[in-house]
Structure 1
Amino acid sequence: MTSGNLAPDRPHVAAASAQAAPLVNAKRAWGMTGLVVFLYVVNYADKAVLGIIAQPLARELGLTSAQIGMVGSLFFLTFVVGGFLAGPMAKYMSLRWALVVLAVAWSLVMLPLVIAASLTMLLVSRMLLGFFEGPSSALMHTAVYSWHPPAKRGLPGALLAGSASVAKIALAPVLAFVTVEFGWRAAILSLSGLGALWLMCWLLGWVEGPFTAKAAKAAPADEAVEGQVPKHAEPNVPLRRIFLSRTFLSCTFLLMSVYALTTVVLTWLPSYFEVGLGYSALQAGSLFAVPSVVGLALMIVSGAVTDRMIQRGATSRVVRIIVPCAGVIFCGGVLASLPVIGTPALVVGLLSLGYGFAAIVFPLVNAAISELCPPQQTAHTMGVFLALVAVGGLIAPYATGVIVDNAATKADGYALAFQSIGIISAIAAVAVLLLANPDRDRARIRAAA
């Protein structure tokens, strides 16, 4: 790749590209990306396992639905708090060992529940799991971005975001089978074993990529890498300048609303299909995977296409702001129409399509946010961003339950909840279109350094 393929307003990327392209082994870069994606799948399976084991766990411990819901909300509370630790962990630890610590913690914190099951132990273990999972997303994005230059982060970001879909499509049915055949304890033990398998692969194979400040500082002067300049030429910038930029603030609101949709789908979609649309429990469970399949496909396609666009000269605003916002606005229109659609199959199809178009916002906007900061501040910036985004998951599932409880019928309640989220997301997307511009805000932030 040469500088002639890049937009003229991205000279810092273009100049580095000409020097660095031959130095990156694509096969190795994607192999390292695969290791991180593997971890993300395990990470999301740990999140989702509560929904899978909820009923047998509730029967054994005598838990009410409200208590199970409380456990879910407290998970996201500590998840938000833990997210702010990504920056300090990246500062004092390497990516290699930071993710080792987190993965080991995930594998261990649920094991006491297997030995001494109680509501208190369930609360403590899930809150600890949320706390240790909080910093993980930002660090995993930083690890993947270390192997890909800014202009090529759409597709790897899509693979990371798609890990949630992979977990629901591939691991959730396996965990459900294990739970039915061997009990909920076996499901937890299986995830701990999967975490141990990842740990062995990681320790044997992981190497930090060249697109980081640490790599640039260690590299000889004649081996500059694409998207990276020596540390003395790219100093730290005031974090408040990043967090108060129009791009950061507006994109936070947008992703918070779409994340709310994601958590409502995870928590309530099977119930909507069964209670609201009249499908059987088995049919509802099977249809649960449909939005994930659509979302995964659209994220991968959009990531690959937008990476190609940006390499051919498209600006970051077009590729990573306008494209995903258009998808969210389409989703908002679809969800807003749900209460007036009377055909269950059409509701499933439209909701899946709308969810899929909204899902492309995660990899594309995450890549845009990573452009705002110098490489050495990526983990801190992404940690704060993703922690704030997760607030949507803290609010939306409970709010949906309140709406359903107070609606004339449960079907009306679910449809109204999805409609409300769709309208809020569409409004957020319009705000981002008016306010966000990564190229402009990056230049302003650098000027303040």
Structure 2
Amino acid sequence: MATANFSVDRADAGAAQDSPTTTTRAWGMTGLVLFLYVVNYADKAVLGIVAQPLAHDLGLDHAQIGLVGSLFFVTFTVGGFLAGPLARYLTLRWALLALAAAWSLVMLPLVIAASLTVLIVSRMLLGLAEGPGSALMHTATYSWHPPAKRGLPSALLLGSASIAKIALAPILTFVTIQFGWRAAIVALSGLGMVWVVCWLIGWKDGPFTGKAVETVAVATSSDGVSALAHTELSVPWRRIFLSRTFVSIAVLAMVMYALTTVVLTWLPSYFEQGLGYTRLQAGSMFAAPSIVALFLMVTSGSVTDQLIQRGATSRLVRVIVPCTGVLLCGAVLAALPLIEIPVLAVVVLSIGYGCGMIALPLVSAAISELCPPQQTAGTMGVFMALAAIGGLVAPYATGVIVDNAATAGDGYALTFQGIGILGALAAILVLVFANPERDRELIRTKA
């Protein structure tokens, strides 16, 4: 079988992207997506913030709260596989608007009729609606940035989780203490609807979507043959999903996502029950690991983008660099059970979490390199869904470990230690098998 010409002539698009007006607009559009990601992660994080008062009102134990957290990620994983179909049948504008509206509404029944059943159903519906969101938000962001410049946008996008915890967690904690956990949920619902209005007014698709690339190619060509030469043909999905880069990075992402879900579900409880801080202190300190993570993600994203533009390989900056961070994360978290000073435990956890989190934006950018533009949403959807598998087990397992540990603090520390060790093993797997440049060529040229 003859090899098709998969090269993409993006010189015009690249030149336009480098103009001051287009660059400003690109970052303006990126800001809208970042706003949505903040809302998205605040919806995830609110369970951790209200976990203790909610458990008190409903009479729940640690395992039940952990089960709620894990069930969220069951439907979140299923929803991730819907990103491709949504991108195929809807524009990014309407797909993300529909998802955000759903996020704002599905938790409200809990405010009216609080019970364990309603909590589980509402969180599972939230997970189903949020599942496609990560992939579509990445696709929307990538539509305004060429592949060589996606490290920083990816870092900012995933760093929005940190922004949510830095900016909103203390506010939501205060609202919960002063007005109750129901008020915190209503406030988040209102914030989601504010974003819907901003999105309707401001969003436009960028020049690096699959549809945009095809439109440019047809517009600049006088016949069908030369138009085909300017566009990338779709490749069989199995080539992408069975590549060594995709499989090994997906395993690493599962472990790092497990760490993220444990932090989202249990970190305030760890600070309160395990380290002895007050509820207000615990909610405010929820942001501590996120501050470290945000700084390291933005720094690594910016630096690695510059390295790629200067000729560094994708394997170096989007495989070796993030894996080094995860190895440091594993070493630091492995020592957590040995630390008895609360302040030092917070510092160690923050450093370990921050080092591990630099991996997610960089490996996400590596995954986006494997596929043609029109398959980005589907590829990222499956990748995010597989990563979310880590969230299926980790919150519930943490609750069980805490319930059976000598003390709550011991249970939380052992959980973080175990995730750190698994992360280090996964990083070694990626270092051995992942090579984006090699697998990108194999995917496009394999007979």
Query: What's 2:84 paired with?
Result: 87
Is 2:158–2:360's contact at 8 Å kept on the other side of the alignment? yes
Query: What's 2:206 paired with?
Result: 209
Aligned equivalents of 2:430 and 2:175: distance in 1? 44
Aligned equivalents of 2:217 and 2:23: distance in 1? 21
Q: Mapping of 1:230-249 within 5 angstroms?
A: 233-249=231-247
Please say if 1:115 is aligned against 2:112: yes
Match of 1:156 among 153, 156, 160: 153
Deviations 1:161-190 (A, max 9, x none): 011111111112222222333333322222
Deviation at 1:76, TM superposition (A): 1.0
Deviation at 1:120, TM superposition (A): 2.5
Please say if 1:406 is aligned against 2:400: no
Aligned equivalents of 1:109 and 1:231: distance in 2? 44
Cα separation, partners in 2 of 1:285 and 1:189, compared to 1, 3 Å: closer
- Which residue identity is paired with 2:208? F
Aligned equivalents of 1:234 and 1:47: distance in 2? 36
Please say if 1:48 is aligned against 2:45: yes
Query: What's 1:29 paired with?
Result: 26
Q: Which deviates the most, 112-121 or 420-429?
A: 112-121
SS at match of 1:219: helix
Aligned equivalents of 1:112 and 1:278: distance in 2? 33
Please say if 1:126 is aligned against 2:120: no
- Which residue identity is paired with 1:166? I
Aligned equivalents of 2:258 and 2:109: distance in 1? 30
The root-mean-square deviation of aligned C-alpha atoms, in Å, is 2.2
- Which residue identity is paired with 2:312? A
Cα separation, partners in 2 of 1:338 and 1:70, compared to 1, 3 Å: closer
Aligned equivalents of 1:338 and 1:111: distance in 2? 38
Query: What's 1:20 paired with?
Result: 14
Is 1:246–1:435's contact at 8 Å kept on the other side of the alignment? yes
Deviation at 1:280, TM superposition (A): 4.2
Unaligned regions of 5+ residues in structure 2, if any? Answer: 1-5
SS at match of 1:211: coil
Cα separation, partners in 2 of 1:198 and 1:284, compared to 1, 3 Å: closer
Deviation at 1:34, TM superposition (A): 0.2
- Which residue identity is paired with 2:331? G
- What is the aligned length? 434
Q: Which deviates the most, 54-63 or 161-170?
A: 54-63
Cα separation, partners in 2 of 1:280 and 1:199, compared to 1, 3 Å: closer
Match of 2:346 among 335, 343, 348: 348
Cα separation, partners in 2 of 1:402 and 1:118, compared to 1, 3 Å: closer
Please say if 1:287 is aligned against 2:285: yes
Deviation at 1:222, TM superposition (A): 7.3
Deviation at 1:221, TM superposition (A): 5.4
Query: What's 1:99 paired with?
Result: 96
SS at match of 1:217: helix
Match of 2:333 among 332, 335, 342: 335
Aligned equivalents of 1:205 and 1:285: distance in 2? 33
Cα separation, partners in 2 of 1:172 and 1:278, compared to 1, 3 Å: closer
Please say if 1:445 is aligned against 2:439: no
Is 2:370–2:439's contact at 8 Å kept on the other side of the alignment? yes
Aligned equivalents of 2:405 and 2:227: distance in 1? 59
Q: Which deviates the most, 175-184 or 250-259?
A: 175-184
Is 1:327–1:361's contact at 8 Å kept on the other side of the alignment? yes
Query: What's 2:377 paired with?
Result: 379
Query: What's 2:259 paired with?
Result: 261
- Which residue identity is paired with 1:21? A
Cα separation, partners in 2 of 1:414 and 1:67, compared to 1, 3 Å: closer
Aligned equivalents of 2:393 and 2:71: distance in 1? 11
Aligned equivalents of 1:348 and 1:298: distance in 2? 17
Is 1:79–1:132's contact at 8 Å kept on the other side of the alignment? yes
Deviations 1:230-288 (A, max 9, x none): 66641111111111100000001111111111112222333333444444444433332
- Identity among equivalent pairs (%): 70
Is 1:256–1:392's contact at 8 Å kept on the other side of the alignment? yes
Is 1:213–1:231's contact at 8 Å kept on the other side of the alignment? no
Aligned equivalents of 1:349 and 1:305: distance in 2? 25
Deviations 1:299-352 (A, max 9, x none): 111111110000000011011000000000011111112233343333222221
TM-score with structure 2 setting the length: 0.91
- Which residue identity is paired with 2:314? S
- Which residue identity is paired with 2:437? D
Query: What's 2:268 paired with?
Result: 270
Q: Mapping of 1:142-181 within 5 angstroms?
A: 142-181=139-178
Is 2:402–2:410's contact at 8 Å kept on the other side of the alignment? yes
Deviation at 1:105, TM superposition (A): 0.9
Deviations 1:38-89 (A, max 9, x none): 0111111111222233344344444444433322221111111111100111
Cα separation, partners in 2 of 1:193 and 1:131, compared to 1, 3 Å: same
